């Protein structure tokens, strides 16, 4: 974990800037990165030269034919997912982050800007730095007119995730990295233009996502202007039409911060990394990530949970008992279906993100007394034992999807197909920050070796 910045010494800025001396509390995001990057570059150099031949794991046939699951084969510096402890962001657990990362004015929950700063720099931002970043994002949040025209021309029946991916890809006309690469720049400058693209994209994603929501679900409803005094998610909630619901806004802040990164091996993060390794700009890289996120085995999980919970609620009615839930769980399993919201590709304990969202629910009487949230809570008390008895899952505990969509539903955001769009807004925090680091560290084109089944059988014989 890198130490928090102390009083700044003279820091070289880009050629269009000047030398400045600032207190740590007022350093910009770019200035902070200019201090952090050389240390990380040196750490990478040492790993390559001194430990390049160290063995960190072995490849088995089951890894190759099982989707490379569990292979230690990717550099992703922002977060590490431990099977027992859960996710840590630059060494900080979720409870740590809830204690130290600045919230929005008048709020209590982590906000996207705080998490973005931590993921990008490895440092906890000051309140002043977070507020300045909020203002920068608000100032850069407007969509180009041609993107508004494109999104407004799409049929309302086109899936919101398809629209989001198309809008992000179209924004690449504005790419600073692409323009700089075409005119010819040094590799050492790649990261600065990548950073500019990433900040611009993060600023515009909520506006793009809100426009899609209004077009599909609230046609004809005007979008409010961006409020320069609000944080990123405060503006997002306002543009969705829920700005007067402070509980939902706070929940969206927590949801988006917690979903911001979950190490690099998940499909959307890995896709952004893979496409980015070709030197595609961040807009193209993240549009590809969004289409990975749209798959039923990845980002659609929370809406599947909600459908399943509502079906259970309809069947058992108001008599929500552990025994009735247990019967419904067995009915689901015996029909050959999985129990959505339980299990995880890496975790072997309850997901800390699920715990954080449940704690949020427990602090608000309206959520604590909500029938759907009560059903989620009681299901989480019964399901692990049923799944253990069933014996076909490595992790019988709830993951974040077990509750995330149900809270949105309680607050009136009931459009299931849109839930993954919110996930897409959040996952940009981690995927895009690591594109900056991939360019700063000069990471190469990703190119794993593939084998046919015949070739694998030959390897086994040898």
pLDDT in tens, 370-396: 999 999 999 999 999 999 999 877 889
Main-chain phi, psi angles of 82, to 5 degrees: -90, 135
Answer yes or no: do 377 and 399 share one domain. yes
What is the structure's pLDDT at 377? Answer: 95
Percent of the chain with pLDDT over 90: 87
Q: CA-based angle 341:379:412, to the nearest 5?
A: 70
pLDDT higher than threshold 90 for residue 38: yes
Domain count for the chain: 2
Whether residue 166 has pLDDT greater than 80? yes
CATH number of the domain that residue 305 is part of: 1.10.230.10
Distances from the Cα of 165 to the Cα of 158, 170, 333, 416, angstroms? 12, 9, 35, 18
Tell me if 205 sits within 8 A of 428, measured CB to CB. Answer: yes
pLDDT, residue 297, reads 86
The label of the residue with tokens 């005119």 reads 183
Listed residue (277, 261, 120, 269) closest to 192, CA to CA: 120
pLDDT band at 25 (very low <50, low <70, confident <90, very high): low
Is 190's pLDDT higher than 90?
yes
Residue 89's φ and ψ, nearest 5 degrees, are -105, 110
The pLDDT value given to residue 89: 97
Measured between alpha carbons, how far is residue 315 from residues 151, 308, 372 in Å? 40, 11, 13
Give yes or no: residues 168 and 264 share one domain: yes
Residues 6+ apart with CB under 8 A from 78: 89, 90, 119, 120, 261, 430, 433, 434, 437
Distance CA 127, CA 98 (A): 14
Q: Are residues 240 and 254 in the same domain?
A: yes
Active site residue: 90, 270, 344, 410, which one?
344
Find the catalytic residue in 92, 231, 401, 410.
401
Q: Is 215 helix (H, G, I), strand (E, B) or coil?
A: helix
Residues 205 and 328 in one domain: no
Q: Is residue 172 part of a domain?
A: yes
Give percent of the chain with pLDDT exceeding 70. 95
Query: Looking at residue 234, which CATH number applies to its domain?
Result: 1.10.580.10
279 and 365 in a common domain:
no
Residue 232 CB partners (closer than 8 Å, separation 6+): 111, 112, 113, 134, 137, 138, 141, 202, 203, 206
Full DSSP string of 291-333: HHHTSTTTTTHHHHHHHHHHHHHHHHTT---HHHHHHHHHHHH
Q: Is 96 a catalytic residue?
A: no
Q: Is residue 39 part of a domain?
A: no
**Which pair of tokens denotes residue 34?**
């200019």
Flag whether 14 is in a domain: no
Cα 413 to Cα 199, 218, 242, 416, 422, distances in angstroms: 27, 12, 9, 8, 11
Beta bridge partners of residue 110, listed in sequence order:
103
- Cβ atoms 361, 251 nearer than 8 A: no
- State pTM to two decimals: 0.91
Whether 41 maps to a domain, the answer reads no
314 and 394 housed in the same domain: yes
pLDDT in tens, 282-304: 999 999 999 999 998 899 888 88
Q: Do both 256 and 328 map to the same domain? A: no
Same domain, 264 and 329: no
| DSSP label at residue 106 | T
85 in a structural domain: no
The pLDDT of residue 15 is above 50: no
In a domain, residue 223? The reply is yes
235-283 residue pLDDT tens: 999 999 999 999 999 999 999 999 999 999 999 999 999 999 999 999 9
**Which 8-state DSSP code applies to residue 80?**
E
Shared-domain flag, residues 246 and 313:
no
Q: Which domain holds residue 178?
A: 137-296+429-440
287 and 311 both lie in a single domain: no
Which is it for strands 79-82 and 86-89: parallel, antiparallel or unpaired?
Answer: antiparallel
Same domain, 307 and 271: no
Read off the pLDDT of residues 346-366 as tens digits, 9 standing for 90 and up. Answer: 888 889 999 999 999 999 999
DSSP-derived secondary structure letter, 5: P
Helix ranges (H only) for 90-144 are 94-100, 112-121, 127-139
Residue 304: CB atoms within 10 A of its CB come to 17
- Which is the catalytic residue, given 82, 159, 298, 327? 298
In a domain, residue 366? The reply is: yes
Q: Residue 185's CB: how many other CB atoms inside 10 A?
A: 14
CA 202, CA 189: separation in Å to the nearest integer?
21
Torsion of CA 285, 291, 294, 295, to 10 degrees: -110
Asked whether the beta carbons of 192 and 179 are under 8 A apart, the reply is: no
- The answer, yes or no, to whether residue 432 has pLDDT greater than 80, is yes
Q: Tell me how many degrees the CA angle 344-349-355 measures, rounded to the nearest 5.
A: 95
Sign of CA dihedral 152, 156, 157, 158: positive
Residues 184 and 225 in one domain: yes
Stretch 117-139: mean pLDDT: 97
Whether residue 17 is contained in a domain is answered as no
Please measure the distance between the N-terminal and C-terminal CA atoms of the chain and give it in whole angstroms.
44
298 labelled catalytic: yes
Catalytic residue check, 262: no
Q: What is the mean pLDDT of the chain?
A: 92
What's residue 22's pLDDT? 46
What secondary structure letter does DSSP report for 224? P
């Amino acid at each position: 974990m890198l130490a928090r910045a102390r009083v700044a010494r003279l820091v070289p800025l880009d050629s269009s800037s000047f030398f400045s001396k600032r207190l740590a509390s007022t350093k910009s995001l770019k200035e902070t990165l200019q201090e952090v990057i050389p240390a990380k570059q040196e750490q990478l150099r040492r790993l390559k030269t001194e430990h390049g031949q160290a063995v960190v794991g072995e490849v088995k046939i089951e890894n190759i034919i099982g989707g490379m699951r569990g292979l230690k084969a990717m550099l992703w510096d922002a977060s590490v997912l431990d099977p027992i402890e859960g996710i840590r962001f630059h060494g900080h657990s979720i409870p740590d982050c809830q204690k130290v990362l600045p919230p929005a004015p008048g709020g209590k929950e982590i906000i996207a800007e705080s998490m973005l700063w931590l993921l990008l720099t490895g440092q906890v931002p000051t309140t002043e730095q977070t507020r300045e970043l909020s203002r920068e994002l608000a100032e850069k949040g407007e969509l180009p007119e041609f993107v508004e025209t494109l999104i407004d021309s799409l049929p309302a029946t086109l899936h919101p995730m398809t629209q989001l991916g198309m809008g992000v890809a179209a924004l690449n006309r504005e790419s600073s990295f692409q323009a700089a690469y075409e005119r010819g720049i040094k590799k050492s400058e790649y990261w600065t233009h990548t950073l500019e693209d990433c900040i611009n994209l993060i600023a515009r994603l909520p506006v793009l996502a809100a426009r899609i929501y209004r077009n599909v679900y609230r046609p004809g409803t005007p979008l409010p202007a961006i409020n320069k005094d609000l944080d990123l998610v405060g503006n997002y909630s306002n543009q969705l039409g829920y700005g007067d619901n402070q509980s939902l806004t706070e929940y969206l802040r927590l949801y988006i911060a917690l979903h911001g990164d979950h190490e690099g091996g998940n499909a959307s993060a890995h896709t952004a990394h893979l496409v980015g390794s070709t030197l595609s700009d961040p807009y193209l890289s993240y549009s590809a990530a969004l289409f990975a996120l749209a798959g039923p085995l990845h980002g659609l999980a929370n809406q599947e949970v909600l459908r399943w919970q509502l079906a259970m609620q309809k069947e058992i009615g108001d008599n929500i008992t552990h025994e009735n839930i247990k019967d419904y769980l067995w009915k689901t399993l015996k029909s050959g279906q999985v129990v959505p919201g339980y299990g995880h590709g890496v975790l072997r304990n309850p997901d800390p993100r699920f715990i954080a969202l449940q704690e949020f629910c427990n602090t608000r009487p309206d959520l604590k007394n909500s029938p759907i949230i009560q059903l989620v809570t009681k299901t989480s008390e019964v399901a692990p034992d049923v799944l253990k008895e069933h014996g076909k899952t490595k992790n019988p505990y709830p993951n974040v999807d077990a509750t995330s969509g149900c809270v949105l539903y309680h607050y009136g955001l009931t459009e299931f197909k849109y839930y993954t769009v919110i996930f897409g807004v959040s996952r940009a925090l981690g995927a895009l920050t690591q594109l900056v680091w991939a360019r700063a560290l000069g990471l190469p084109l990703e190119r794993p070796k593939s084998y046919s089944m015949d070739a694998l059988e030959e390897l086994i014989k040898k």
